[in-house]
Chain A
Amino acid sequence: MDLVVEGVRRAFALLLRGDPEVLEIMWLSLRVSGLATLLSIVLGMPLGMALGLRRFPGRTVLLGIINSGMGLPPVVVGLVVSLALWRTGPLGVLDLLYTPAAIVVAQFILALPVVAGLTAAAVQQLDPKLPLQLAGLGASRLQRLIWMVREARLPLLAAVMAGFGAVISEVGASMMVGGNILHYTRVLTTATVLEVGKGNFDVAIALSVILLGLTFCLTMAITLVQQRGSASR
């Protein structure tokens, strides 16, 4: 118990002091996971909408693959990305292994099925007559899409939060493809594992508190946006 209190105290001390190493690790975590989430939104939302709204051959199988991908083990993704980026691997020429970019790639693969699968579920919950009704009022294709997204905004923002939550918290893939290199690819989760290994439990707890705080702040910001438009009387 004393250890936890000491850890929390230490976390605040590190933050208030503006410890450059901790700030650097925090900033990298945020950038890497933020970028991975953003990429997964750019690709995953259109994919999810197509899966949710359109009917085409192979749709159910693809949806099944995406849905099972929501529980993709990070170490498996880490392994596959490592093999692909390995010097002699198919993408070895890119020389990306043990760089922040490699972590982004791995986390993007982890977040993509989460975002796409939850997006598909979100748009399938809409009234199936909505597109037709919007068209019946003179909506163009784009205008229809905008209003469908608007109508599904609550579950769509939940998809964003779930995607970000999945990648900011994973450690296996970051460790394997990033290598936990100080000042380069060390993120909050890999740093925590390292400190635990060294027996520095107070530092590990401090890092965990920072990770939780960071996740909470970001998710809270999205939640505020999400709930602003839903206050119904």
Chain B
Amino acid sequence: MTPILALRDVTVERVGRRVLEAESLAIEEGAHVAVVGPNGAGKSTLLRVLGLLERPAGGTVLVRGRPAPARPREALRLRRRIAMVLQAPPLCDTTVRANVALGLGFRGIRGREADRRIRPWLARLGIEHLAERRARALSGGEEQRVALARAFVLEPEVLLLDEPFAALDAPSRDSLLGDLEAILRELRTTVVTVTHDPDEAARLADDLVVLVGGRIRAAGPKRDLLRHPPNRETAELFGFTVLACGGRRVAVPPGGLALGDGPVTFAMRVERVVDLGYGRRVIGRVGESRLAVDVPNGDEVPAAGDRVSVAAAGAVELPAG
């Protein structure tokens, strides 16, 4: 099947500096993809290119196998089948309802028809009671819900979400993440979410794209990528601890380390111990690699300078290179 969006040799430059270099990327129709990477990796740039909001300096953006048109009028027609929610999205100074109706208005959908499409999404995102409220008077979590409703009502073929939870406090983030996860599970729409948070990526997507320094370092189903990380960057981004042992490198999944002996054991030199309140974090080195092991309160804790055994559960070998 032809992918709904694809990039071929796409490069983007800012003041002479190359910020994105995507040799090849394909987004299949109906896929839920998360683009993960550290800050400044070019994630938002990639999203803008996919949304036809920024023309790359080089390469081609393919929409259902055909190059995206350069003429504004034709590009607009394609753009209207895509909806994008920016990071900390600016709302307009009007009511919540008018904000949600914005994109429909751009497409000439007004009045009763607009209302019919808006109502279920206001309910779905739990902002019905805010409909007549002015957008400026909302909390961060409510603002983000309005921004999402504004995109969902368009029933786009592709939905692009840039760090949908970046500006939220922990409780609003958790409640919105839960709601969004449930909505996306039912939705047939293709969704590309940009995030720096591995937990959000794992919960919102089936496929992952790992972007580091403007380059795609890994792409594929979440299952494959997180069971056997193809490289160090991918492993570290998702919270794996990467350890060198006997010329090979292994990645230990998050929570896989514990003090004591096990089938796979490393000798760690303790550098310091941090009191977390709910427990202690023992930080030390195995060879050149640094690692941290959390120990619950009550357990015996080594002192700085000690040599202790660390058991690694679920460790996988990283490919060489």
Enumerate chain A interface residues (CB-CB to B < 8 A). Answer: 127, 129-130, 132-141, 143, 147, 150-151, 229-230, 232-233
Contact = CB atoms under 8 A, between A and B. Distances in A.
B137 interface: yes
19 contacts: A127-B90, A129-B86, A129-B90, A133-B84, A133-B86, A135-B79, A136-B51, A136-B84, A137-B83, A137-B102, A137-B103, A138-B79, A138-B107, A138-B154, A140-B106, A147-B102, A150-B92, A229-B93, A233-B133
Interface of B: 48, 51, 53, 72, 76, 79-80, 82-86, 88-90, 92-93, 102-103, 106-107, 133-134, 136-137, 150-151, 154, 160
A4 to B, nearest CB: 43
Contact of A141 (B72, B90, B137): B72
Contacts of B85: 136
A173 B95 CA distance: 46
B83 A232 contact: no
Contact of A137 (B84, B88, B137): B84
A136 B83 contact: yes
A153 to B, nearest CB: 8
A132 B86 contact: yes
Contact of B154 (A130, A137, A141, A147): A137
A136 B53 CA distance: 7
8 tightest Cβ-Cβ pairs between the two chains A and B: A136-B84, A137-B103, A127-B90, A138-B80, A138-B106, A130-B90, A139-B106, A232-B134
Centre residue among B89, B107, B133, B134 by max chain A CB count within 10 A: B89
Contacts of B80: 138
A136 B87 CA distance: 12
Given A138-B103, A138-B106, A140-B76, A133 B133 contact: no
B137 A233 contact: yes
A150 B160 CA distance: 26
A229 B92 CA distance: 12
Given A135-B53, A143-B106, 19 more contacts: A133-B89, A133-B90, A134-B102, A134-B106, A137-B83, A137-B102, A137-B103, A137-B106, A138-B79, A138-B82, A138-B106, A140-B76, A140-B106, A141-B72, A151-B93, A230-B93, A232-B134, A233-B134, A233-B137
A44 to B, nearest CB: 23
Given A232-B136, A233-B133, A233-B137, A132 B92 contact: no
Contacts of B151: 137
B90 A138 contact: no
A132 B134 contact: no
B86 A147 contact: no
A150 B99 CA distance: 13
A163 to B, nearest CB: 23
